Amino acid sequence: MGLWLFNGLLIGICAIVFFPIFSTLLLSIKEPQDVRRKPPVLLPCDTESAAFDPRNCRFSLDGYSRVLLLRPNPDSLFGASVTGRLFTQYVPNTLFYATFAAIVTTMLAGLAAYGLSRFRFRGRRLLLTLLLALSGVPLLTMLLALYQMNVRMRQMLPGYEERLFMVIVYVGFELPFAIWVVKGFFDTIPIELEEAAKIDGASPLGALARIVAPLAAPGLVSIFLLTYVNVWNEFIANYLLLGRSELRGAMYGIYEYISQSLSAYNALAAACILVILPVITIFLFTRQAFFRSMLEGAIKG
């Protein structure tokens, strides 16, 4: 009886968590007249004689066509090209920011965490304390200083690239927490493994790359994924720091689409679904490594 109650509680929690996504997906494939119905219906499958008839469900891809703005193109692989700004401009920008920020953060966090884990030097505890304190500082409190810095650099440096500035901002914000997480994995790896590799002729960097890094891979993967998702979902810094809208990311694209599609809720829902698909896809392919890293981190911590 207790197991049934526990499983029922888990199913109820999952239903509550997934209902907003499920309802957004349904809204994105509804016809415009069903979107504006009062009172609203979850499934547009009613008829004049029946409240629910699965044979008469009315679904449409009108919302997705409005977002993607497909245009015939004989040279394209599928015979059509996407011309909507959300996928020709904003999503590629976010892919650039998230990918490079995640890669650089993972590499720097790995190197810094290895040094803090393996070497004892004066000021080490103070440095770790400062990193922990910095990880709790919200990005919002630093936006004014970052904005002024961006404006000055834009005026002083010819050929200044704001995309790289945004990547540096994201890396600086994500790095303190990442170092702490990866350091916990390095602390659990016996130093004797490195010493044995060095006796066999490996250099310090070789021992790090061939012995330590693979053992700490779950922690590095988790940091990569967390950084990627955080940057993908970030809006306020991307909106305020970048001077040109064509450099902004997918969250700004959704924000812009809200002002343009106040009456087309199915198109807005379709835009939201399309924007979250890349992140969901990444997690589906890396879920085993991510959950293993979380489990190992909890056990080792």
Give pLDDT tens digits for 11-27. 999 889 888 888 888 88
Helix H, strand E, coil C: the string for the chain is CHHHHHHHHHHHHHHHHHHHHHHHHHHHCECHHHHCCCCCCCCCCCCCCCCCCHHHCCECCHHHHHHHCEEECCCCCCCEEECCHHHHHHHHHHHHHHHHHHHHHHHHHHHHHHHHHHCCCCCHHHHHHHHHHHHCCCHHHHHHHHHHHHHHHHHHCCCCCHHHHHHHHHHHHHHHHHHHHHHHHHHCCCHHHHHHHHHCCCCHHHHHHHHHHHHCHHHHHHHHHHHHHHHHHCCHHHHHHCCCHHHCCHHHHHHHHHHHCCCCHHHHHHHHHHHHHHHHHHHHHHHHHHHHHHHHHHHHC
Percent share of the chain, pLDDT over 70: 92
* 163 to 112, 156, 205, 242, 287: CA distances (angstroms): 25, 16, 31, 8, 29
- What is the pLDDT, as a whole number, of residue 100? 94
- What is the pLDDT, as a whole number, of residue 44? 80
Amino acid found at 184: G
Quote the CA–CA distance of 287 and 11 in Å, as a whole number: 20
Look at phi and psi of residue 260 and say left if phi exceeds 0, alpha if psi is from -120 to 50, else beta: alpha
275 pLDDT more than 60:
yes
- What is the pLDDT, as a whole number, of residue 79? 67
Structure tokens at 145: 């200083």
Q: When comparing pLDDT for 125 and 53, which is higher?
A: 125
Domains of the chain: 2-60 (no CATH), 85-300 (1.10.3720.10)
261 pLDDT more than 70:
no
- What is the pLDDT, as a whole number, of residue 296? 57
Question: Token pair 């011309």 is at which residue?
Answer: 83
Strand partners, 290: none
Which region among 147-156, 186-195, 196-205, 285-294 has the lowest average model confidence (pLDDT)?
Answer: 285-294
262 pLDDT more than 80:
no
Q: Across the chain, what does the average pLDDT equal? A: 83
Quote the CA–CA distance of 98 and 88 in Å, as a whole number: 16
Tell me the mean pLDDT in the region 252-266.
Answer: 76
Tell me the mean pLDDT in the region 153-171.
Answer: 87
- List Cβ neighbours of 148 (8 Å cut-off, separation of 6 or more): none
Tell me the mean pLDDT in the region 90-115.
Answer: 92
Confidence of residue 101 (pLDDT cuts 50, 70, 90): very high
